[in-house]
Chains A and B, each alone.
Chain A
């Protein structure tokens, strides 16, 4: 394979050189800037102080609301963006307040998260005073400090941003697939058309490339689970790539979401497992004196396979988001709007890559689920 022809075009060659020049000149610029600002050491010293004070003081300012003179903490901003939240940020200082549902030892409390005013104010509930610290709800005592003892008794059942995004994706999936299903009812025995012809190859892909080769004869029973997993993960990966409302929630990059999905896989695998699977775990084909080693290893294997699924999806999607956000953060780190074209170009490249990863991770998750189910329902004893 030769890529030399790409450089044949003068225009492309010129823009490649120009892009490299831009990158180096921008990398150069902040270096010079720090030299010039060398006497003003204020920024550098306050930077660490600020981070430390952020960690201690509850209800610090939202980093996006920081003025130009204040230092920019990329890690906090990025982690905030990929984390779950009690409000859904729209633009600037505008957010949608989401319902907060708290199960306390004294009863259930419900109120809107906008009562916290982006975590700046505590909320006086029926039973306790609540505060939002790092987007987690704690009980505050009379001095406005976290009351750890009381906080241990409240359980947060709020409809968070990710939960709302899950509901949204479920609504989307239901709309898409019921309309596709009705298309099948209307056009019995005919060739697919419209959305149906887009979805059908994917369904067939899941059936013929994922379920059938890995599970074998019993594949039909697991098709609903595999299809639901595949489309749920895929659509949430895609919605996560949209930076603005109603996208922007990092559902599949949330380890609790991937935990739920992989736990369902764990149940699906082990509840459908046949005697050969259990025999393989408890009486493996090894001398009996190896059993003390083999049985724990096999039992760990039961857990570790879904565990790997959980980590893989979470890490892949989170990593993609972190890279995109880091590239955007470069603009703020270098404090130069001139860096924007470079950032945007790299973000565009990453987004296109993430489109592929969105599909790939949905495929891998479903594929491995099918593989695990396949080993559990395999009729032949090895």
Chain B
């Protein structure tokens, strides 16, 4: 979706302002927000693509003015309500009002080390070989779905070169919406800055994205 999350090339966002000796957390609630997000992810009720889509679906003004842990918290509330684990009334009241859905799994302290060490690999086998090879010239598709996609706006309808075949992975555009994992080959595609940004682009700059096969057309 063309939401506030798709930031590449936007102007007016201000200086980067790196912080010296930045702490991992700037408030206690940020620690709890991280832990809650990971704990609820362990329910197995949604996947990482649906989580990303919940966050990017926040109203743009909210998204752009929120810290990242606030974005995570708001996204988590959406997912918990959507999947029937908590109600809006409970979030407003701050305590349990009714019994909700039971998750497949509840993350307990003894499970944390194992779950974090295992992670969530999302490479999957596909029946056919890759359509493109390193060195192929390709054009990215032009589309503007209201649903989840990982093809940023700045890289749509642009010509580039396949640099590497990276393996086959879950297709987020489908997986975010409960349409299945439908894995596809993923390629690193490199663009000259001039192709993306046109006049005035840095001639010594190239930018790459990692693109699912259906994002690409052969030239």
A and B: real partners? no
* Chain B interfacial positions (CB closer than 8 Å to A): none
A-to-B contact residues, CB < 8 Å: none
